[in-house]
Chain A
Amino acid sequence: MSAKSVLEADGKAILNYHLTRSPVIKKSTLPPPPHNSPPKLASLYFPEDVAPESVLDAAETTYPWLLAPGAKFVAKPDQLIKRRGKSGLLALNKTWEEAKQWVLERAGKPVKVETVTGTLRQFLVEPFVPHKQEEEYYVNIHSLREGDYILFTHEGGVDVGDVDAKAKKILIPVDLKEYPSNEEIAATLLPDVPKFVHNVLVDFINRLYAVYVDCQFTYLEINPLVVVPNADATSASVHFLDLAAKIDQTAEFECGAKWAIARGPAALGLSTAGSGGKVDIDAGPPLEFPAPFGRELSKEEAYIAALDAKTGASLKLTVLNADGRIWTLVAGGGASVVYADAIAAAGFGEELANYGEYSGAPTETQTYHYARTVIDLLLRAPAREEGKVLFIGGGIANFTNVASTFKGVIRALREVAPQLVDHKTKIWVRRAGPNYQEGLKNIKAAGDELKLDIKVYGPEMGVAEIVPVALLGAETKVKEYGEA
């Protein structure tokens, strides 16, 4: 659980709904505006087993405004891809027919963006907002220890360039009583913006920041932020065309209802019919935190993530290289990193198959499911002449009962012991903490009984010291646990 990126469609929906509702920190430049009408966000998901055409057909029913005569649209993938404009993943000013065609050509296809390859499955289609280049601004809010920075530049758009260097910045201190005045905001952020839009923009920034606080964003970038003046150039309307955001997942208990209601059918102007009758805990679906582009969760990773979400303990799994021959089953958020470091330092980074950790006193059964998942993945990787390596590692636990968690690990080993032998798997164990003596004794006994190639060490061995011993054949004076 941490701050995580959200879909552009979700970010926009939250912004659209709460922009007029989140309490502003200080009195803004303009009186409270009327609530926004539901945003026009056609969020299209193309599952593997459904024809893209039928997704688009269904979209026309869900979002009737797509069929409005003469309407022009923007289409783009919504998968946390940065700089879509530069990668040709942005279709502007298209009719629905053209937009459909553009999406069809890409949906379900792999695409390489910079160094990462991923499959395009999630698209966003929105009405196109005609505007001039000079009306494109850029705004960014991000959180640091000392407070939240608001960055603003009047030269937004695809070619915004080095924002850090050119944007105007203002620090909003953590104590919101020190929130800057409207004049300060205008003077600091908007010196290069025509005076007549100051009121509108300051009000927008005030409200944007209010949502940022109220919905516990940790990052929010709008580029371009389009400010279209009215005919007599006395005021302007603000449109957020492209948005990237991170939201603090741990704040779910405070903000879950706010995230949900903004994305509920009522707020999005959708008919509630055909929602499948599923009852959500809030007035809308729970906020999703998609995996980074090109790193869609595998079935196993999703399974562990679901397991993790159901417990106070921590269970994490990231498959780095499914064909790798070095697998880790390590306890502890810090120790797991030390293991990965040691494997990389030994020159086996390419062969490291997974990163993961279990900690916070998971139960025997949870540990079993976790271990079983990792070992299954290990066995699925192609057999190697040189065999495979499994590190069952961990630091010196503070309060996790090692014997109990190891019972779960042993159960998993027991179930697939012959296959582990077939794959010539060398198992290296190092662990300590409450009741580790029993845990190590049991795993050693089980390993011997199951004829596994297993080496077991206690706290006399350094936490990841077994890594160089295992991978590079480094010498060690430390004896196996239980040996005199």
Chain B
Amino acid sequence: MPSVATLAPSTAANPGDSKLLNVNDNIARFSAPSRPRSPPAEHTLFHPKTRAFVYGMQTKAVQGMLDFDYINKRSTPSVAAIIYPFGGQFVSKMYWGTSETLLPVYQSTEKAFAKHPEVDTVVNFASSRSVYSSTLELMEFPQVRCIAIIAEGVPERRAREILHIAKKKGVTIIGPATVGGIKPGCFKIGNTGGMMDNIVASKLYRKGSVGYVSKSGGMSNELNNIVSQTTNGVYEGVAIGGDRYPGTTFIDHMLRYQADPECKILLLLGEVGGVEEYRVIDAVKEGLITKPIVAWAIGTCADVFKTEVQFGHAGSLANSKMETAKSKNEAMRNAGFHVPETFEKLPEMLAEVYQKLVADGTIVPEKEPAPPKIPMDYSWAQELGLIRKPAAFISTISDDRGQELLYAGMPISEVFAEDIGIGGVMSLLWFRRRLPPYASKFLEMVLMLTADHGPAVSGAMNTIITTRAGKDLISSLVAGLLTIGERFGGALDGAAAEFTNAIDKGLSPREFVDSMRKQNKLIPGIGHKVKSRNNPDQRVELVKDFVRRNFPSCKMLDYAIAVETVTTSKKDNLILNVDGCVAVCFVDLMRNCGAFSAEEAEEYLKMGVLNGLFVLGRSIGLIAHHLDQKRLRTGLYRHPWDDISYMGFGTEGVAPGGANRAMVDVGK
């Protein structure tokens, strides 16, 4: 019996997602099942105590296997551990019914087998490239009796080598290119049988009397359905895979079913291509198989086609008349198999054979147990739209879940097809809308104008010093960015706020200048160190020109220029500087481009979008300074003492913490 810690049910959404354990987790722990008293019979591949490894991090398939075990009332999970060579994870959390269990994850095959001597089966999910080497490695361990190979596209030569080595070692290979197989009450390989609802619908939670072998995995699920509807259910089913050289073929499993007294009806779904069906015919003729066989080979249509068609399976191409589905069906019929006229008639024929066996007492149908219930996975229930829960985060600007990345609903391919530029991308992501082309262009202009302002400004200085201290790009960039605030780079926000405030209050430009002076405040966005009215700043001219030509209205700009007229009359260099110009033009844009309501425009300005423009633009320059310093291989910067006025320490150096420490005279 598993020892179940009786704690509150967990809220973890997805098994395997989380490596972290929570005290509240409801974890069931299992010891290895007791060994069966006698080794399983030769013909028994899977039994209720079968333990397996899953090779590859296939948590969904593993969960499916555990769910199957649970509804089949196995006392221990069939999966003992996961082998994952690229691991790093030590356990994987899985559900066992409504509680949870931890599956060990091993990087090394050797360790896995050493820890789990009871394991004799491996479900190998390795890719077609690596499945050969991993299967060979697995077969080195004498405890392995059965390996299922899921990968499609295994080279024929490699598949053949695998099957020959397996034969020598007595290992049963199922696959490659298969979904696996299923034995109700015992074991389910990987994804066989589909989701739990289908397992329940096809009554795969309790054993029946029909053993089937099919090539196709998809069709094996169809057989599960047919068998459950026409008989007392599946005893065991194997899909051998559609490749040319499956590890085991029809005859291998047919002989097992023949030897197993609980299996009463054999069902064979063959296919055009290959000659493996004939080996079953031979076995019947030789008297090795005596149980009734219902059989059909698909691909009868090939005879109607004018040219050869390679069907979906690699092995399904007839190389001779004998390999055609028609010949196979005839040969099987002649050998006494129950072969219907078409596949569609197969259920009828199966029902007939079954009823006969019930009538003569060979099969005694058991009482139908109540179909088990299995809790549905959260993620699956969500996909089905059965449940909902409030989300912890909301995002409205981009979506990476679909086939294509969306920026505010615009697919990334369209972003490039329409060549909307970085300004267009900014308008999508910042404002969730397309702005007119001139607006995007204006945003780009701002970025270009604010990109750098030389190495001497404090932001660039901090970046340079940080770079020279040997720090990485991000640290250096951030050192510069953190300098941005009210004084450095903040003029944009300030200018926008003051000018907007003034115009909205209805102050005339002269009244505005006067009121600022009365408050002893500098007007942000006005004044330049060297440029003057007669020596205008080219950057400002560029912006003014662009805005005048393109904006529907530039009321703010006109107002700011009127303010400039007032200020320059006092002093020639009190011109509208680039910060002020960009700021007022940006307000013009927000208010007049038609894409924003008045409230929205206000809101965005309050959120600090102008500052955002400066930060984004200036990052270009700061990164440039970092790269520049790295390129120059400049060393650690130390500011010269003589450039620092050490006051109040006397002339000679005083040890820190000395008596007359921090005697700065602030009285003056």
Q: Is the CB of A398 within 8 A of B192?
A: yes
User: A320 with B195: in contact, given A218-B156, A334-B215, A341-B343 (CB under 8 Å)?
Assistant: no
In this complex, what residue of A is CB-closest to B274? A145
Chain B residues positioned under 8 Å from A344 (CB to CB) = 300-301, 303-304
Report which of B201, B305, B343 forms a contact with A338, defined as CB distance below 8 A.
B343
Indicate if the CB atoms of A248 and B155 lie closer than 8 Å.
yes
- Quick check: A335 and B219 within 8 Å, CB to CB? yes
Q: Is the CB of A357 within 8 A of B157?
A: no
Query: In the complex, are the beta carbons of B307 and A334 less than 8 A apart?
Result: no
B459 proximal to A (CB < 8 A) = no
Q: Give Cα A174–Cα B163 distance, bound, in whole angstroms.
A: 9
- For B269, the chain A residues whose CB sits under 8 A away are 334
Question: Is there an interface contact between A3 and B244, defined as CB atoms closer than 8 Å?
Answer: yes
Question: How would residues 319 to 342 of chain A score, 1 for a CB under 8 Å from any chain B CB and 0 otherwise?
Answer: 010000000000111111110111
Which among B155, B179, B193, B383 is the interface contact of A216 at CB below 8 angstroms? B155
Identify which of B221-229, B582-590, B603-611 touches chain A.
B221-229
Q: Do residues A333 and B192 form an inter-chain contact, with CB atoms below 8 A?
A: no
Specify the chain B residue showing the minimal Cβ separation from A364: B403
B344 touches A397 (CB 8 A): no
Interface centre among B155, B245, B403 (most CB of A within 10 A): B155
Say yes or no: is B565 at the interface (Cβ < 8 Å to chain A). no
B194 & A438 in contact (Cβ 8 Å cutoff) = no
Expressed in whole angstroms, the minimum distance between the Cβ of B44 and any Cβ of chain A is 24
Q: A253-B129, A365-B403, A468-B344 are in contact. Are A333 and B216 (CB under 8 A)?
A: yes
Q: Is there a chain A Cβ closer than 8 Å to B417's Cβ?
A: no
Measured CA separation A1–B160 after assembly (Å): 17
Decide if A438 touches B222 in the complex (CB within 8 Å): no
Known A-B contacts A337-B299, A341-B300, A398-B218; A359 and B312 likewise in contact (beta carbons under 8 Å): yes
Q: Which of B164, B165, B317 has the most chain A CB atoms inside 10 A of its CB?
A: B164
Q: How far is the CA of A440 from the CA of B383 in the complex (A)?
A: 15
Asked if residues B156 and A395 are in contact (CB atoms below 8 Å), the reply is no
CB contacts (< 8 Å) of A468 on chain B: these are 344
Known: A335-B222, A462-B344. A433 touches B156 (CB 8 A): no
- Is there contact, CB below 8 Å, between B385 and A396? no
The answer to whether A174 and B164 touch across the interface, beta carbons within 8 angstroms, is yes
Known: A333-B312, A396-B221. A435 touches B198 (CB 8 A): no
Say yes or no: A397 contacts B312, CB within 8 Å. no
Specify the main secondary structure of chain A where it touches its partner. Answer: mixed
Within 8 A of A (CB), among B275-331: 298-301, 303-317, 325
Confirm or deny: A16 has a beta carbon within 8 angstroms of a beta carbon on chain B: no
**0 or 1 for each of B134-151: is its CB under 8 Å from A? (1 = yes):** 000000000000000000
Contact of B155 among A250, A316, A432 (CB under 8 A): A250
B218 CB contact (under 8 Å) in A3, A331, A365: A331
Q: Is B214 an interface residue when CB atoms closer than 8 A count as contact?
A: yes
Interface membership of B154, Cβ < 8 A: yes
User: Quick check: B244 and A342 within 8 Å, CB to CB?
Assistant: no
Is A343's CB under 8 angstroms from B301's CB?
yes
Q: Report A373-411 CB contacts with B as 1/0, cut-off 8 Å.
A: 000000000000000000000111111010100000000
Q: Which residues of A contact B341 (CB under 8 A)?
A: 345
Q: Which residue of B lies closest to A316 (CB)?
A: B312
Nearest chain B CB to A424 CB, angstrom units: 24
Which of A174, A295, A340, A403 meets B301, CB within 8 Å?
A340
> A395 near B153 (CB under 8 angstroms)?
no
Quick check: B216 and A355 within 8 Å, CB to CB?
no
Question: Counting CB contacts under 8 A, is A2 at the interface?
Answer: yes
Interfacial chain B residues near A248, Cβ < 8 Å? 155-157
Which of B222, B271, B385 counts the most A-chain CB atoms under 10 A from its CB? B222
Q: How far is the CA of A359 from the CA of B342 in the complex (A)?
A: 24
Shortest Cβ distance from residue B399 to the other chain A in the assembled complex, whole angstroms? 15
Give CA–CA (A213, B160) in the complex, Å.
12
- Chain B, residue nearest A368 (CB): B403
Collect the chain A residues with CB atoms within 8 Å of residue B153's CB.
1, 250
* Cα(A116)–Cα(B499), bound, Å: 84
Nearest residue (CB) in A for B164 is A174
**Of the residues B191, B316, B385, contact of A398 by C-beta under 8 Å:** B191
Decide if A352 touches B160 in the complex (CB within 8 Å).
no
**CB closest chain-B residue, reference A356:** B312
B156 touches A174 (CB 8 A): no
Task: Indicate if the CB atoms of A333 and B156 lie closer than 8 Å.
Answer: no
Cβ–Cβ contact A342 & B342, under 8 A:
yes
Q: Using Cβ atoms and an 8 Å threshold, which residues of chain A touch B242?
A: 333-334
Q: Mark A443-462, 1 if CB is under 8 A from B, else 0.
A: 00000000000000001001
Give the residue of B222, B301, B303, B309 whose beta carbon is less than 8 angstroms from that of A396: B222
Structural contact, A462 and B154, CB atoms closer than 8 A: no
By a CB distance below 8 angstroms, the chain B residues around A253 are 128-129
Is B644 interfacial (CB 8 A cutoff)?
Answer: no
Bound Cα distance A294, B14 (Å) = 52
Interface: B217 (CB within 8 A): yes
Q: Which of B150-175 contact A (CB under 8 A)?
A: 152-158, 160-161, 163-165
Tell me if B655 is interfacial: C-beta within 8 Å of chain A: no
Q: What's the nearest-Cβ distance from chain A to residue B246, in Å?
A: 9
Q: Which of A115, A250, A343 contacts B156 (CB 8 A)?
A: A250
Cβ-closest chain A residue relative to B192: A398
B299 touches A397 (CB 8 A): no
Q: Is the CB of A143 within 8 A of B156?
A: yes
Other-chain residue from B300, B306, B342 in contact with A115 (beta carbon distance below 8 A): B306
CB distance from B386 to the nearest CB of A (A): 10
Distance from A278 Cβ to chain B, minimum over Cβ atoms (Å): 24
- How far apart sit A398 and B181, CA to CA, in the bound complex (Å)? 11
* Residue contact A338 to B219, C-beta cutoff 8 Å: yes
B198 near A433 with CB under 8 A, answer yes
| Residues in chain A near residue B129, CB distance under 8 A | 253
Give Cα distance in the complex from A256 to B437, angstroms.
50
Q: A140 within 8 Å of B by Cβ? A: no
B85 to chain A, nearest CB (A): 18
A463 at the interface (CB under 8 A from B): yes
From residue A297, how far is it (CB to closest CB) to chain B in Å?
Answer: 12
In the complex, the answer to whether A320 meets B342 with C-beta atoms within 8 Å is no
A interface footprint on B366-389 (CB within 8 Å = 1, 0 otherwise): 000000000000000001110000
Is the CB–CB distance between A352 and B301 below 8 Å? yes
Instruction: Return the contact of B194 from the options A218, A333, A434 (Cβ within 8 A).
Output: A434
Q: How far is the CB of B574 from chain A (nearest CB, A)?
A: 60
Inter-chain contact B312/A396, CB cutoff 8 Å: no
B347 within 8 A of A: yes
- A3, A174, A314: which contacts B161 (Cβ < 8 A)? A174
Residues of chain B from 213 to 253 with CB closer than 8 A to chain A in the complex: 214-219, 221-222, 224-226, 242, 244-245
A35 to B293, CA, bound (A): 57
For the complex, give the distance between the alpha carbons of A365 and B411 in Å. 14
Q: Is B343 within 8 A of A397, CB to CB? A: no
Asked if A3 and B225 sit within 8 Å, CB to CB, the answer is no
User: Per a CB cutoff under 8 Å, which of A345, A357, A394 touches B300?
Assistant: A345
Is B314 in contact with A1, judged by CB distance below 8 angstroms? yes
Please provide the chain B residues from 84 to 117 with a CB less than 8 Å away from any CB of chain A in the complex.
Answer: none
- For B307, give its contact among A3, A218, A294 (CB under 8 Å): A294
Instruction: Given A334-B214, A341-B300, A349-B304, check contact A434 B244 (CB 8 Å).
Output: no
Q: Is A435 touching B218 in the complex (CB atoms < 8 A)?
A: no
Report the separation of the CA atoms of residues A245 and B540 in the bound assembly, to the nearest whole angstrom: 74
Within A284-302, which residues are at the interface with B (CB < 8 Å)? 292, 294-295
Flag whether A97 is at the interface (Cβ < 8 A): no
Q: Is A270 an interface residue (CB 8 A)?
A: no
Interface centre among A1, A254, A341, by most chain B C-beta atoms within 10 angstroms, is: A341
Interface 0/1 of A229-258, CB less than 8 Å to B: 000000000000000000010110110000
| 8 sample A-B contacts, Cβ–Cβ < 8 Å, listed by A number | A316-B312, A334-B219, A334-B313, A337-B312, A359-B218, A432-B198, A435-B384, A438-B385
Chain B residues near A (Cβ < 8 Å): 60, 128-129, 152-158, 160-161, 163-165, 179, 191-195, 198, 201, 214-219, 221-222, 224-226, 242, 244-245, 269, 271-272, 298-301, 303-317, 325, 341-344, 347, 383-385, 403
7 nearest A-B residue pairs (beta carbon): A334-B216, A333-B312, A349-B304, A2-B314, A334-B219, A332-B218, A344-B301
